[in-house]
Structure formats: structure tokens, C-alpha cells
């Protein structure tokens, strides 16, 4: 059996796909630009590859039949990548977003949405069997959104505190991904995945506070304050300022559109697995240490 290739293997969802496939004894090939920094199970075949440098991809793509695809690289590199993938691969599972879900939260125009739509159209036209995973907001966004403020003290400032979403644990997205990679019967499926509980930002911050035993002050900031402050109170690494501004604008427009509306909650996880997705409290409890690290 040729290994399942995971592109995006070190990320939030890809690392869970790798871990869960490995737990099942399925051979996995994990692609990354930095094999030396990847912390993945020892039995995983770790392969260097950079999606923006096609000449680096052959060791990863050689003989691949099935792949899990996370695409956060520049879109210009996608057509050549897909053309090479489609020469050998039979099945692609692509981590997309709820692009077709008629809730205003998911329907605001933005650049990453355009990229995901183009990727989907190209995969559909490639002749390869495909499944699209369409998760809503990830529970682990909390780490990027609020970790720095939790580490700095007991004040957490955030916009749209009372807008509800139903965050999903990346482990649950991966559980569905692993089924679609390993089982037949998911070709052409588009799985919209959320957690099962609508929670406002205020709820989520409070849950993390209670898990950490912290008494917090939670303060609403206006969208304009968010435009000015979120670039500084979140870790962005080497992300260029223009990209940071775009991400902040994308979030503000989604939250603004959802203000006053109930959260969209999907039952797909339950229908596929027969069990409920993990709660946000579970995610927070399992990540309490890393939250403060």
C-alpha cells in the first residue's frame, strides 16, 4: 500500500491527520518545508517539499495514490502542483471552508475564499476523485487570538464579543478527514463541519479562563479599535502587514455579518461518526498548558 501523502502535515489539521492515520497503522508521508522542525510520530515518512518550488516536490509526490491537501501557499503555484498530482493520484481530500453554506458568517467576500473556490474548481476538473471538508471556525484559533493576552495578564479585549459561532476541534476535522482518506463512499461529498455548541467569543474566553483558573476582565473593542490593536495583541510571526490587515478585515466582516444571528451548527460530524464532536471546554482543557507556554 502506498503511503497517504499529507500536504500541510505540520499544521493544525494536517498534524492531526498524520497522528490519527499513524494510530491506525496506515502508512503516512508527511510533507513540510522544515523536516528538522516537524514533531510527528516516529514511523511517519517525513519528506521535504515546498509548494512554491515544483522541483522540490517529486520525492513527496512520487507514487502517491491518495492525499490530504491543505493549501495556504500562494495560489499561483497550484495549477502546476495539481497537474503533477493528477498524474498519479486517485483521491484528493481538500481542506476547504463552508463556501456554500447560506449563513452570512460564511458568505462575506474575501481573497482566501476566491482561492479556495478556484482550487475546488480545478480539483473537480482534474479527473481525480475528491472530497471537500468544509469546517467552520477552528477551536484552536483561540490560541492565536487570545493566548498572548492571557499570558500578559487578566484583561482580554476583543471585538464582537457576543457573536456566536460553533468552533470545531481540529481533531474532529481530522477524524472525518481520515475516514474520507481511508474509506470508499465519500467521493464528491462536501462535509460542512462545526462543533455542536454555539458559543460567543465571550463564552469561549470565559471557558478558557475557568479552565486556567483565572478571573478575567473581558472588554469589548470596537471594529476600528480592532483594526488598530489586533496586529499587536496576536502573534503574526513574519506575516507581512498587508496580509495581517487583510486577515483582520476578513474576520471583522464575517463577525459583523453574523452579529445578532444564531450560529450555524452542522450535524455532519454526528451523522458520519455516530458521536458528538468534542466540546470547546474539552479543547481548552487539553491545551491549557500550551495556551500559557
Between 79 and 153, name the residue whose CB sits nearer to ligand NAP: 79
Minimum CB distance to ligand NAP, residue 125 (Å): 20
Between 94 and 150, name the residue whose CB sits nearer to ligand NAP: 94
Residues within the interface to ligand NAP (CB under 6 A): 8-14, 32-34, 49-52, 70-73, 95, 97, 112, 135, 137-138, 141
Burial of 155 (0-12, 13-18, 19+ CB in 10 A): exposed
Between 117 and 214, name the residue whose CB sits nearer to ligand NAP: 117
Closest-by-Cβ residue to ligand NAP is 11
The tally of CA atoms less than 13 A away on the side-chain side of residue 283 is: 25
Between 3 and 8, name the residue whose CB sits nearer to ligand NAP: 8
Minimum CB distance to ligand NAP, residue 170 (Å): 6
For residue 149, give the nearest of 234, 224, 238 by alpha carbon.
234
Measured CA to CA, the distance from residue 245 to residue 146 in angstroms comes to: 18
Minimum CB distance to ligand NAP, residue 230 (Å): 15
Minimum CB distance to ligand NAP, residue 76 (Å): 11
Between 72 and 219, name the residue whose CB sits nearer to ligand NAP: 72
Minimum CB distance to ligand NAP, residue 97 (Å): 4
Between 116 and 215, name the residue whose CB sits nearer to ligand NAP: 116
Minimum CB distance to ligand NAP, residue 194 (Å): 10
Amino acid at each position: 500500500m502506498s503511503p497517504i501523502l499529507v500536504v500541510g502535515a505540520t499544521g493544525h489539521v494536517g498534524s492531526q491527520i498524520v497522528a490519527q492515520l499513524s494510530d491506525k497503522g496506515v502508512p503516512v508521508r508527511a510533507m513540510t518545508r522544515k523536516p528538522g522542525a516537524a514533531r510527528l510520530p516516529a514511523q511517519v515518512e517525513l519528506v521535504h517539499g515546498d509548494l512554491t518550488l515544483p522541483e522540490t516536490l517529486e520525492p513527496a509526490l512520487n507514487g502517491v495514490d491518495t492525499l490530504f491537501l491543505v493549501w495556504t501557499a500562494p495560489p499561483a503555484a497550484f495549477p502546476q502542483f495539481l497537474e503533477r498530482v493528477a498524474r498519479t493520484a486517485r483521491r484528493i481530500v481538500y481542506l476547504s471552508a463552508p463556501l456554500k453554506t447560506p449563513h452570512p458568517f460564511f458568505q462575506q467576500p474575501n481573497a482566501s475564499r476566491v482561492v479556495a473556490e478556484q482550487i475546488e474548481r480545478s480539483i473537480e476538473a482534474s479527473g481525480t476523485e475528491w472530497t471537500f471538508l468544509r469546517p467552520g471556525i477552528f477551536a484552536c484559533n483561540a490560541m492565536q487570538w487570545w493566548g498572548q493576552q492571557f499570558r500578559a495578564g487578566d484583561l482580554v479585549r476583543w471585538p464582537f464579543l457576543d457573536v456566536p459561532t460553533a468552533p470545531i476541534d481540529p481533531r474532529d476535522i481530522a477524524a472525518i478527514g481520515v475516514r474520507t482518506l481511508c474509506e470508499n463512499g465519500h467521493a464528491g461529498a462536501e462535509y460542512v463541519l462545526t462543533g455542536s455548541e454555539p458559543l460567543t467569543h465571550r463564552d469561549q474566553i470565559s471557558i478558557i479562563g475557568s479552565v486556567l483558573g483565572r478571573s478575567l476582565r473581558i472588554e469589548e473593542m470596537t471594529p476600528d479599535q480592532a483594526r488598530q490593536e489586533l496586529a499587536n495583541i496576536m502573534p503574526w510571526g513574519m506575516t507581512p502587514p498587508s496580509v495581517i490587515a487583510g486577515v483582520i478585515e476578513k474576520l471583522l466582516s464575517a463577525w459583523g455579518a453574523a452579529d445578532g444571528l444564531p450560529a450555524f451548527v452542522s450535524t455532519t460530524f454526528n451523522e458520519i461518526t455516530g458521536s458528538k464532536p468534542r466540546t470547546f471546554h474539552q479543547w481548552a482543557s487539553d491545551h491549557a498548558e500550551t495556551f500559557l507556554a
